[in-house]
Structure 1
Amino acid sequence: MKFNPIFFDLDGTITDSAQGIIRAVQYALESFNISASKESLIPFIGPPLRDSFAQFFPGDPEKIEQVVAKYREYYGEQGLFEARLYDGVADLLRQLAENGHILALATSKPESFAVRIIEHFDLTHYFTCIAGAQLKGTRTDKPAVLRYACETLGITPSEDCLMVGDRKYDVLGAHEVGMPCAAVLYGYGSEEELKKAGADQICRDVKALRKLLTGE
């Protein structure tokens, strides 16, 4: 096995979750009488939520917490289910698990939401570990999530591990903890963004990712 364990991002890597996230952001901003187009909110997919909302409320942590709470009000009830699996991803996870790979989810999304999404799509049995952020605002960046996931698995990050993600945060986070990152172009990050971040591999689609991970 070339890479083991393999850490997967969620949004933009396993699920196309833009609709639910963007609707939740719009719902939250509208409670503060702020309107924003869908296109302008694409950057919310990937980084920690509080960091993204800070651009609307710079230097106002109290309002940031308020808008995050409004976001979760929508997302926790409806938005997290407004997503779809990317074609071929479930089969790839099944194949990797059957081939003996240890799979972990590593997302900046709150862990409780990530667990519900993975359960919703019936993928729980493929993952040894589901690691995410804490609702109270700790362990939100990708390096912290990856370190937590590695601790849970009882391993030390190394070149034998692999992070799979779609944004620069996945690449930079993986490199910070000492593992390579394969970036996918079917998610929300551009090829320019991912190359600039230093992605070790770039996969244009799930088929290319399968070839990298399984050799098939």
Structure 2
Amino acid sequence: MLCLFDLDGTLIDSEIGILGCVRHALTQLGVAHPAEMRHWIGPPLRHSFAPLLDHDHDRIEQAVEHYHERFHTIGWQEHTVYPGIDAMIERLQAAGHTLAVVTSKPERHARPIIEHLPFGSAFSRLYGPDPSSPHSEKATMIAAALSDFGAEPTQAVMIGDRHFDIDGAVANRVQGIGVLWGFGSQAELEKAGAHALARDPEHLAQLLAA
């Protein structure tokens, strides 16, 4: 089985790093920080910055650049691995599954995170969107993974915590498994058409074994 994993909210809790970079970008532009920011984790940055910046293309691009500046130096280190993820990854490897990461985070930001994870070497490939893209591109990246690994949709599964992950899976006729320990809600994942929901990493390993 080809197991495609989202990164933020699925393998790692990156809330501190992501929101720290969002606040930094808004501060640089003199924009007040919203009271609630958790929903920023998952969607493409430009999508989230747009309403706060009156959909001004130039200011949005400035905000994204400020975000990337801080993330490149500090933000990428500001995360923790969810409890039980390492044991789950080890179990999937032992069972002979092929693992890869499909993330909305640009590859240049995701790669150092993956390389520093204790189980980072378990992932055969990393898929991330072009930094200039305003879209999540999960569907496109999942399609690329199926092609690269020569896998049929029935031989693959996409695992993530937001509807973007499940949307990408559905678009490719791949089973999408939603995880309930991340930044999305059960209602969001069910509405998107998740094939199954995992309570915790151990439950996820059981679902994949079945």
Aligned length: 210
1:12 aligns with one of 9, 14, 22: 9
Matched with 1:141 is 137
Kindly provide the amino acid, as one letter, of the partner of residue 44 in structure 1: W
How much is the aligned-residue C-alpha RMSD, in angstroms?
A: 1.6
Per-residue deviation, residues 155-182 of structure 1 (Å, max 9, x unmatched): 34x1221000000111111101210101
Q: How far apart in 1 are the matches of 2:87 and 2:68?
A: 30
**Superposition deviation, residue 189 in structure 1:** 0.5
Deviates more, 1:67-76 or 1:141-150: 141-150
Structure 1 gaps of 5+ residues are none
**Could you say what secondary structure the match of 1:29 adopts?**
helix
Kindly provide the amino acid, as one letter, of the partner of residue 9 in structure 2: G
**Superposition deviation, residue 90 in structure 1:** 1.3
- State whether structure 2 residue 165 is matched by structure 1 residue 170: yes
- Work out whether residues 44 and 134 of structure 2, in 8 Å CA contact, stay in contact via their aligned partners in 1: no
**Superposition deviation, residue 149 in structure 1:** 2.3
Per-residue deviation, residues 122-158 of structure 1 (Å, max 9, x unmatched): 33320111111122327742112212222332334x1
- State whether structure 2 residue 193 is matched by structure 1 residue 198: yes
Alignment of 1:26-41 (within 5 A): 26-37=23-34, 40-41=36-37
- State whether structure 2 residue 22 is matched by structure 1 residue 22: no
- State whether structure 2 residue 176 is matched by structure 1 residue 187: no
Kindly provide the amino acid, as one letter, of the partner of residue 186 in structure 1: W
Deviates more, 1:146-155 or 1:49-58: 146-155
Q: How far apart in 1 are the matches of 2:118 and 2:45?
A: 26
Structure 2 gaps of 5+ residues are none
**Could you say what secondary structure the match of 2:128 adopts?**
strand
**Could you say what secondary structure the match of 1:91 adopts?**
helix
TM-score by length of 1: 0.91
